[in-house]
């Protein structure tokens, strides 16, 4: 079987599929990862063969004559304007017009990126004689290439729970720019994949539609390569608390969040804990020098740090949230994006942590300190995190799921 994986060219959209790609290769199948050149080095560092398709993202927008800024979440300094329905991933039809605009902009963003990749992606898939296309939701080029080539397509979720169709549709309508991508190849739109690949544990998932073909898969934490500091081999003298704010969020909104992150650090340091900051280079430079006793780890994989931690404080990006869930670590999730908030709400409902909206966190440090203290002191959070870990461990392994994908191409 020849497996053509094509992710949206952002690291958080690629890493979740790496364990499945390895499983395909270990089962004797051929794997190629086709993505924009900006992701090539990342793919190569995961040990998989990379196929550059299209230009870099900035060049794609330049060719389209568009000056585009991706949609951002609510910054801490802004008041909360409109509450999102907590179950909106399962019911996008409940979104307001303002909220649908958020996804319309994502749809335009993804469509322009797909348009710039499609000729190369379809040509490679045809020349290589691919058997199946595997893609994430924001990689609009994936389903178009599969339809143009007459292949099954598997859409993998990043760890966000439930039916996240809102990247290609909102309510009952397709994103306007999505169908014309199919028209280029004289094929009908394919809004639903042949199968979904969902790593969310059962208690976090939303109910699937009866006709959806869902391949449940164990979430295997993969947060990239990195050099591990020697202190990770030493048992912490005090409870270790990890804090991180992700890669994409730091790149988009780092300056706007610096004050909030510094106050959160101050809140955690008021407790008798060891604080470990896992940061991108961008956020490390923005935050500056840290107080004595704070460990700062740049480029260290979260799945290497979390096993020694008693709690983690973060923005509820899927990589951190699912890694913590798979490793049984209680979580304090402070969100300012609707995708992340929906995920954090489900994890909190499962008893594995707490969820706060960033605009609801006071300027002071007392509430954050109390929340972290609760994660450390209340056994219910550790018990909930362990239940979630056990659920994930009971799911089919990536290697088991490879056999299910083989059935799609027979």
pLDDT of 77 > 50? The answer is no
- Residue 320 structural domain: 230-394
Q: Are residues 327 and 208 in the same domain?
A: no
Residue 78 in domain: yes
Residue 225 in domain: no
DSSP letter string, 22-82: HHHHHTT-EEEEEE-GGGHHHHHHTT--EEE-S--HHHHHHHHT----------TTSPP--
Q: pLDDT tens digits for 118-176? A: 999 999 999 999 999 999 999 999 999 999 999 999 999 998 876 666 666 655 678 88
pLDDT of 78 > 50? The answer is no
Q: Are residues 64 and 176 in the same domain?
A: yes
Residue 224 in domain: no
Number of domains in the chain: 2
Q: Are residues 269 and 385 in the same domain?
A: yes
What pLDDT, on the 0 to 100 scale, is given for residue 74? 43
pLDDT of 276 > 90? The answer is yes
Residue 135 in domain: yes
Q: Are residues 208 and 254 in the same domain?
A: no
Q: Nearest CA to 205 among 87, 84, 376, 312?
A: 87
Q: Are residues 144 and 96 in the same domain?
A: yes
What pLDDT, on the 0 to 100 scale, is given for residue 166? 61
Q: pLDDT tens digits for 190-241? A: 989 999 999 999 999 888 878 889 999 999 999 999 999 999 988 999 999 9
75 pLDDT band, cuts 50/70/90, is very low
94: enclosing H helix or E strand: none
> Can you tell me the mean pLDDT for 288-294?
84
Q: Are residues 270 and 245 in the same domain?
A: yes
pLDDT of 40 > 90? The answer is yes
What pLDDT, on the 0 to 100 scale, is given for residue 93? 78
Contact present, 151 and 410 (Cβ < 8 Å): no
Q: What CATH number has the domain bearing residue 55?
A: 3.40.50.2000
């Amino acid at each position: 079987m020849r497996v053509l994986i094509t992710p949206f060219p952002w690291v958080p959209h690629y890493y979740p599929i790496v364990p499945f790609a390895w499983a395909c290769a270990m089962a004797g199948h051929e794997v190629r990862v086709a993505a924009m050149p900006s992701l090539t080095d990342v793919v190569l560092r995961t040990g998989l063969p990379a196929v550059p398709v299209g230009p870099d993202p900035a060049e794609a927008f330049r060719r389209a004559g568009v000056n585009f800024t991706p949609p951002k979440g609510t910054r801490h300094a802004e008041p909360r304007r409109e509450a999102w329905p907590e179950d909106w991933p399962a019911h996008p039809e409940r979104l307001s017009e303002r909220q649908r605009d958020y996804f319309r902009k994502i749809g335009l963003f993804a469509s322009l990126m797909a348009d710039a990749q499609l000729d190369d992606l379809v040509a490679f898939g045809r020349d290589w004689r691919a058997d199946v296309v595997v893609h994430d939701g924001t990689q609009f080029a994936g389903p178009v290439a599969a339809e143009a080539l007459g292949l099954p397509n598997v859409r993998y979720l990043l760890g966000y729970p439930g039916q996240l169709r809102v990247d290609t549709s909102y309510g009952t309508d397709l994103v306007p720019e999505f169908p014309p991508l199919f028209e280029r190849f004289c094929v009908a739109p394919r809004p639903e994949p042949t199968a979904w690949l969902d790593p969310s544990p059962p208690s976090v998932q939303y109910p699937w539609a009866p006709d959806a073909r869902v391949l449940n898969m164990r979430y295997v934490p993969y947060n990239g390569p990195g050099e591990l500091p020697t202190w990770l081999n030493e048992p912490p003298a005090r409870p270790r608390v990890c804090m991180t704010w992700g890669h994409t969020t730091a790149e988009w909104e780092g300056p706007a969040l610096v004050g909030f992150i510094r106050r959160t650090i101050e809140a955690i340091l008021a407790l008798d804990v060891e604080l470990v900051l896992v940061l991108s280079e961008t956020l490390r430079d923005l935050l500056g020098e840290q107080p004595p006793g704070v460990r700062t780890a740049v480029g260290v994989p979260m799945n290497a740090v979390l096993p020694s931690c008693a709690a983690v404080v973060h923005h509820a990006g899927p990589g951190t949230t699912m890694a913590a869930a798979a490793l049984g670590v209680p979580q304090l999730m402070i969100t300012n994006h609707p995708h992340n908030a929906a995920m954090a709400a489900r994890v909190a409902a499962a008893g594995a942590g707490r969820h706060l909206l960033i605009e609801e966190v006071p300027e002071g440090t007392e509430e954050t300190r109390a929340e972290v203290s609760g994660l450390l002191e209340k056994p219910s959070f550790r018990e909930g995190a362990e239940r979630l870990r056990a659920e994930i461990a009971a799911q089919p392994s990536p290697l088991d799921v490879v056999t299910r994908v083989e059935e799609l191409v027979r």
